[in-house]
Amino acid sequence: LSDEEGGPNGKVLTSSTIASWCQQIMNQEDISVLPNLLNGFRAACHYGSGSPDATVYKFQTKVAFCKIQFFVLHQSDSIFRRLMGMSNSGCKKSTILELQCTSKWTSMKPLVKSYFKSTFYLLTQVTDTQIIAFILSRLRDSVSFLVPFPELQRRLSK
């Protein structure tokens, strides 16, 4: 994939690049693009904040910006579960605790944590009640993944 260079302030993400990443992940063709997708999501969540996280990627259009946010919020839980070999229905705390001892979790932990941190940041920035409700509904599906992150559990409860 070739992103257009965005100069010293990051790479420009196009709708086609994001669509390609999403397709590769959903079709299980190339999971190695998941960190790119989550880094783009972090940049979208921090957009306009002046944060260094917002400068990693730039978005060519509003469509690209919205596409990455919607896809990550809508699909992350099922992607994480699939990659860790978990069922899509709820799971017990003990399942997550057992999962922590696996190599799958070792590779997924930073990605899961990045997803939560970016999503929590987005929650602090959004004022539209429908968007907040959507974000919270997506987080509800993934709450079991918070077990290994007590500091993030506290942030969510605030």
Per-residue confidence of the chain (158 residues) as pLDDT tens digits? Answer: 333 444 445 689 999 999 999 999 999 877 899 999 999 999 999 987 777 766 678 899 999 999 999 999 999 999 998 888 887 666 666 677 777 778 888 889 999 999 999 999 999 999 999 999 999 999 988 888 887 787 887 776 66
> What is the structure's pLDDT at 94?
65
Over the range 130-144, which residues count as b (16 or more CB within 10 Å of their CB) and which as e?
Answer: eeeeebeebbeebeb
Q: b/e for 10-31, b at 16 or more Cβ within 10 A? A: bbbbbbebbeebbebbeeeeee
Cβ pair 130, 94 in contact under 8 A: no
Per-domain boundaries in the chain: 4-157
